[in-house]
């Protein structure tokens, strides 16, 4: 599935961030937009339905926080389910895949240096 990943910073400092409006207007199945830069990190809004590929980030941790819907994060040894108002920090180098069985809106915080699609994949999809 194609991913629509926008790394341009949408909102300047001191601008009101209209995350709800962006999410409501999104018609993509797998989309994210960088909202703001905070120090050396970026805050991204994602609208997900379907699954991403397994990947890892060599140098950066990644935080997922669900605003709406249900997010599944597959790890090597388990799957974590996140519901609205729940989050999970995936440490650097940990292989993971995000899945959303229905339309889900997620806030992500990660280092500005992160490659959103990952630095590589080392493990197969669990069977």
One digit per residue, the tens of pLDDT, for the chain of length 127 reads 678 999 999 999 999 999 999 999 999 999 999 999 999 999 999 999 999 999 999 999 999 999 999 999 999 999 999 999 999 999 999 999 999 999 999 999 999 988 777 776 544 444 3
Domains in the chain, start-ordered, CATH in brackets? Answer: 4-111 (2.60.120.10)
Measured CA angle at 87 (ends 98, 52), to 5 deg: 10
Which residues touch 75 (CB under 8 Å, ≥6 apart)?
90, 94, 95, 96
**Four-CA torsion 39, 42, 43, 46, nearest 10 degrees:** 180
Single pTM value for the model = 0.88
Instruction: Write out 3-55 in H/E/C secondary structure.
Output: CEEECCCCCCCCCCCCHHHHHHHCCCCEEEEEEEEECCEEEEEEEEEEECCCE
């Amino acid at each position: 599935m194609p991913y629509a990943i926008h790394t341009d910073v949408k909102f300047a400092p001191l601008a009101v961030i209209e995350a709800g409006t962006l999410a409501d207007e999104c018609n993509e199945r797998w989309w994210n937009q960088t909202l703001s830069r905070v120090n050396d990190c970026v805050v991204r809004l994602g609208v997900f339905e379907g699954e991403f590929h397994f990947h890892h980030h060599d140098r950066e941790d990644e935080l997922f926080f669900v605003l709406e819907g249900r997010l599944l994060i597959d790890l090597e040894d388990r799957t974590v389910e996140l519901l609205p108002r729940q989050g999970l920090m995936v440490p650097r180098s940990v292989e993971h895949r995000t899945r959303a069985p229905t339309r889900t809106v997620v806030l992500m915080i990660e280092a500005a240096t992160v490659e959103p699609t990952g630095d590589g994949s080392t493990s197969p999809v669990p069977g």
